[in-house]
Amino acid sequence: MNKFKSSKLVILLLSWGAIIQPAYAEDRLVQIRVDGLACSYCAYGIEKKLMKLKGVKHVDIDLPNGLVLVTGSDDLKLDPEKLRQLFEDAGFTFRAIVQDDGLKAQ
């Protein structure tokens, strides 16, 4: 009886994993090098502007390394020229997209 219950639990967990996996699998992680990032309060405008873009799910900022980390879905499109203007409007300087290789976000 206990063995049967355990098997059901395993099947349930595997099914749950199969359901939620595609949601993560579709996420992309893009790293953008930005200059002028010296305080998190000042950088809030970057997050606000990026979150308005289609496909962006989450934005984080790595101040010491000058990186803006964008997590988004597959339909996320980040054009360097548009990013240059976006960061200028936020008060910072866009340098480059340093990583957009379809890494799965954790």
Partner 1 sequence: MRGCSKLDSHPELQMPCRKFGAATLATSLAALFLSNAAFAHDPVFSPGPHVLFKDGIEVHAEYTRNKARGLSDNEASVAIKYGLTGNWVVGVELPYEWERGSLERESGIGAVSLSTKYRFWRSDRKGIQESAAIFAQLKLDTGGYADTGTNDLMLGLTYGYESLKWYRWASVRYLFNDDATPDKRGDRLFVDLAAGWRPKVNDYRAPDTVWMVELNGEMTQSSTVAGLALADSGGDQWFVSPGVMWTLRNFAVKAGIQIPIISKLNGDQAKARYRGLVELEWHF
* Eight-state DSSP code of residue 100: -
Strand partners, 27: none
44 binds partner 1, rule: CB under 8 A: yes
Can you tell me which of 14, 16, 48, 96 binds partner 1, judged by CB under 8 A?
48
Q: Phi-psi region for residue 56, left (φ > 0), alpha (ψ -120 to 50) or beta?
A: beta
23 binds partner 1, rule: CB under 8 A: no
Distance CA 61, CA 34 (A): 10
43 binds partner 1, rule: CB under 8 A: yes
DSSP class per residue in 8-53 = HHHHHHHHHHHHHHHHHHT-EEEEEEEE----TTTTHHHHHHHTTS
Can you tell me which of 42, 51, 96, 98 binds partner 1, judged by CB under 8 A?
42
Do 104 and 24 form a contact (C-beta atoms < 8 A)? yes
Q: Residue 80 Cβ, how far from partner 1 at the closest point, in Å?
A: 17
Nearer to partner 1, 35 or 74 (CB): 35
Can you tell me which of 7, 80, 88, 102 binds partner 1, judged by CB under 8 A?
88
80 binds partner 1, rule: CB under 8 A: no
Binding site for partner 1 (CB under 8 A): 35-46, 48-49, 60-66, 88-93
